[in-house]
C-alpha cells in the first residue's frame, strides 16, 4: 500500500501554523495528502496553507482553534465532519516554563488540556475510524523532556510523558489493525519559537546556532525541516521514534545512570535556555 493509500486522503496536523507543524504538513502534502491545518493564529495558518497549495496539488483546510479550550473538540468535529482523516499528527504543545510553584495553576491546567486531554479525544475519535478502515497513522509529538523529570518545565515534561506512553500503548493496540500509532520523541530543535526565546531573553542564537559557540553539554538544536523529514522515514518504526539517533543513544545511556544524576543534568540543561521572566514559550 502506498503512502497516499495508507494515510490519505486527508492528514490532520494540530499545531500547524509554522515551524515543525507546518513542515509536517508540507511532508504530507508532498506525498499527496490533503492537509487540514489547526492552530490558533489565522494569519499564520493562511500563510502556511497558501505556501502548500502553491507547491503541491493538494487541498488544504484551515481550522482556527485552541487545543487549550474546552470547545476545541466540538470545533474540530464540525470542521472535519466531511473529511476522511487517515493521518493525525498531534504537534500542538503548551509549554509553561518557570518554577512549578511560580507558574499559575491555570497554566498548568492548560498544559494538561493541550498535551493530554485534546490528543486523547482526537486519538479516540479518529483512531476508531482508522481501525474500522484498517489503515491510518497517528503520531503524537513528544519530547526528550518526557524521559525524566525536568526542572523549570515540570508539568510540561509530565504531560509530554503522557503523550509518549499514549503513543506507545496505542502502537501495541492498533498495530494489528493496520494503523501506525506511535510517539515521536523530538530533541532540541531550531524553530521559530526557539528563535523567539533566544531573542526575548537576549541569548545569542536568535539567527542560527553556531556549534562552536554553543554551550558545551547542551544538546545542539537541529533544523526543524530535518526533524520533520526524519519522521516520515520512520512511520512504521513505533512504538517510540527519536528525531535523531544521537538522542536515542543518549536516552539509552541515561537509562544506565543513577536516576538522580539524570534528573539533575536535565535540570541544568533546561536552565541554559531559561533565565527567568519567561512564563510560556507558547506564542
Annotated catalytic sites, by residue? 156
Output the smallest distance, CB 165 to a copy of itself, in A.
4
Within residues 169-228, the interface with a copy of itself by CB under 8 A covers 169-173
User: Between residues 41 and 151, which has the closer beta carbon with respect to a copy of itself?
Assistant: 151
CA distance 128 to 109: 27
Q: What mask of x and - would describe binding to a copy of itself in positions 228 to 247, judged by CB under 8 A? A: ----------xxx-------
* Single residue of 79, 83, 121, 229 touching a copy of itself by CB under 8 A: 121
CA 139 to CA 228: how far, in whole Å?
A: 12
- Nearer Cβ to a copy of itself, position 22 or 93? 93
On whether the CB atoms of residues 139 and 90 are closer than 8 A, the answer is yes
Across 128-142, b (16+ Cβ under 10 Å) vs e yields eebbeeebbbbbbbb
Backbone phi, psi, residue 185, to 5°: -90, 105
Cell numbers given for 61:
483546510
What lies within 8 Å, CB to CB, of 100 at 6+ separation is 108, 154, 155
Return the residue of 83, 131, 206, 235 that touches a copy of itself, per CB under 8 A. Answer: 131
- Of the candidate spans 56-64, 117-125, 196-204, 217-225, the one that interacts with a copy of itself by CB under 8 A turns out to be 117-125
User: Where does this chain bind a copy of itself (CB under 8 A)?
Assistant: 99-101, 105, 108-109, 112, 116-117, 120-121, 123-125, 127-128, 131, 146, 148-155, 157-173, 238-240, 252, 255-256, 259-260, 263-264, 267
Amino acid at each position: 500500500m502506498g503512502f497516499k493509500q495508507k494515510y490519505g486522503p486527508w492528514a490532520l496536523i494540530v499545531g500547524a501554523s509554522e515551524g515543525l507543524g507546518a513542515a509536517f504538513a508540507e511532508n504530507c502534502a508532498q506525498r499527496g495528502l490533503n492537509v487540514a491545518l489547526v492552530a490558533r493564529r489565522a494569519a499564520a495558518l493562511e500563510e502556511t496553507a497558501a505556501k502548500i497549495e502553491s507547491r503541491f496539488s493538494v487541498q488544504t483546510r484551515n481550522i482556527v482553534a485552541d487545543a487549550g479550550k474546552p470547545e476545541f473538540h466540538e470545533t474540530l468535529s464540525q470542521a472535519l465532519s466531511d473529511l476522511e482523516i487517515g493521518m493525525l499528527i498531534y504537534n500542538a504543545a503548551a509549554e509553561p516554563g518557570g518554577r512549578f510553584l511560580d507558574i499559575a495553576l491555570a497554566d498548568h491546567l492548560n498544559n494538561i488540556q493541550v498535551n493530554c486531554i485534546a490528543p486523547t479525544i482526537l486519538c479516540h475519535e479518529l483512531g476508531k475510524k482508522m481501525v474500522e478502515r484498517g489503515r491510518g497513522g497517528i503520531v503524537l509529538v513528544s519530547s526528550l523532556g518526557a524521559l525524566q523529570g525536568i526542572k523549570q518545565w515540570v508539568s510540561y515534561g509530565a504531560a509530554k510523558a503522557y503523550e509518549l506512553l499514549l503513543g506507545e500503548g496505542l502502537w501495541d493496540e492498533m498495530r494489528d489493525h493496520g494503523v501506525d500509532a506511535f510517539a515521536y520523541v523530538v530533541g532540541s530543535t531550531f524553530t521559530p519559537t526557539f528563535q523567539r526565546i533566544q531573542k526575548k531573553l537576549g541569548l545569542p542564537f536568535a539567527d542560527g546556532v553556531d556549534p562552536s559557540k554553543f554551550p558545551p553539554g547542551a544538546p545542539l538544536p537541529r533544523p526543524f525541516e530535518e526533524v520533520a523529514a526524519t519522521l516520515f522515514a520512520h512511520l512504521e518504526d513505533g512504538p517510540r521514534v527519536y528525531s535523531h539517533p544521537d538522542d536515542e543513544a543518549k536516552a539509552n545511556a541515561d537509562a544506565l545512570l543513577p536516576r538522580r544524576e539524570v534528573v539533575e543534568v536535565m535540570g541544568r540543561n533546561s536552565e541554559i535556555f531559561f533565565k527567568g521572566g519567561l512564563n510560556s514559550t507558547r506564542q
